A and B are shown apart, each in its own frame.
Chain A
Amino acid sequence: MKKITLLYLIVFSVQIQLAIAQSQPLQIIKVPELEQLIKSEEGKVKVINFWATWCKPCIKEIPYFVKAQQDFPEVEFVFVSLDFSENASRAESFGKKKGLNKSKMVLIDDVDYNAWIDKVSGEWSGAIPATLIVTPNGKKLYEKEFQQGELKELLKETYKL
């Protein structure tokens, strides 16, 4: 009996280690790092999704982003959590459970929102869900909840991916 328990423990810990090796930890960032993330880069399209654990429509659209991430491996996806920094570990485990375990996750730790919302986009009221698409030619903010298939369609039709 004891042996079986031990075996289980070993298998379990190996699995955990594998899971940790595959996924990146959530990074807590400040505004300058956020500005870096949303900068246009040569030959690159980025999809920056703003979400929070308490935002129901954000949670609903995450699977569509995970799917798009698989369909467009050339696109860089970043998930920016707006949860308070003391809830960072909760945001991380929640995000991973929702399928973001292979995605870049950050948490912006600056509640002086008015100081940085316009830096993300003048089009943004501050409501979430919101998604910023960055191309070498510029940025566009989508202040909306994406429905199934909609993001893929948008990347294909508007961004010719």
Chain B
Amino acid sequence: MKNYLFLSFLLLFAFGFTSEKEGYKVGDTATDFSLKNVNGEMVSLKDFEDVKGYIVIFTCNTCPYSIAYEDRIIELQTKYAKQKFPVIAINPNDDKRSPKDSFKEMKVRAKEKMFNFPYVYDETQEITKAYGATNTPHVYVLDADRTVKYIGAIDNNTKSAKDADKKYVEDAVNALLAEKEVPVKETKAIGCTIKWAM
């Protein structure tokens, strides 16, 4: 009996660990959400009518890598919103663990940088968990049916946009707009861990 108990504990432990790695893979259907934007309005993917897809970016105020990409996120929105492929940025960080990532501070940052895209707060972190985002910035490119087509980094040079010679997100979106196969479907990047609530 004791052995069984031990075994079930072990299994529970093992599953507990694997569940951390859950989240979407390319080909999965991503969930919609209803999250509060810095302008006070709730934002859902279904609110965007007649779009060809979505660039969902988990990012925040505080991570230096997120900050390094802010201008590039603004550019993505400038370039692709008019092609019906909008950017939606989600801040996944718990504001008790990272006070500068609070909703109030998001409003300040959005105003300072004149964000041209919705910047919403995943206060309960449920959407972040469902998507399986691990670090910031972390991008999910979805098609119009919310099928995940690309997961990973924006490009291959965090330091300098002009030195990036692989623009993963642009390549993915361009391919989808041309109804072609996404060339690189998954990449990894160094980033700040998501600050999960304790």
Contact A114 B192 (CB under 8 A): no
List chain A residues, Cβ under 8 A from B135: 125-127
With contacts A127-B192, A129-B193 known, is A84 near B134, CB below 8 A?
A: no
Q: CB of B162 within 8 A of chain A?
A: no
Find chain A residues with CB under 8 A from B158 CB.
Answer: 111, 113
A74 CB → nearest B CB, Å: 29
**Given A55-B192, A127-B135, A127-B191, A114 and B157 contact (CB-CB distance below 8 Å):** no
Interface centre among A57, A82, A84, A125 (most CB of B within 10 A): A125
Asked if A128 lies at the interface with its beta carbon under 8 angstroms from chain B, I say: yes
Measured CA separation A74–B64 after assembly (Å): 35
Given known A-B contacts A113-B188, A114-B188, A118-B188, A128 and B193 have beta carbons under 8 A apart: yes
- Among B63, B157, B193, the most chain A Cβ lie within 10 Å of the Cβ of B193
With an 8 A cutoff between CB atoms, is B153 at the interface?
yes
- Chain B at the A interface: mostly helix, strand, loop or mixed? loop
Most buried by A among B63, B166, B191: B191
Describe A's contact surface by its main secondary structure. Answer: loop
The CA of A126 and the CA of B194, in the complex, are separated in Å by: 12
* Contact between B193 and A112, CB atoms less than 8 A apart: no
How many chain B residues touch the partner (CB < 8 A)? 20
Measured CB to CB, the nearest residue on chain A to B157 is: A111
Residue positions of B touching A, CB distance < 8 A: 63-64, 134-135, 152-153, 156-159, 166, 168, 187-194
9 A-B interface contacts by CB (under 8 A) = A54-B192, A57-B193, A112-B166, A113-B158, A124-B188, A126-B188, A127-B191, A128-B192, A128-B193
Besides A84-B159, A113-B188, 16 other CB < 8 A contacts? A54-B192, A112-B166, A113-B153, A113-B156, A113-B190, A114-B152, A114-B189, A117-B190, A126-B135, A126-B188, A127-B191, A128-B190, A128-B191, A128-B193, A129-B193, A145-B193
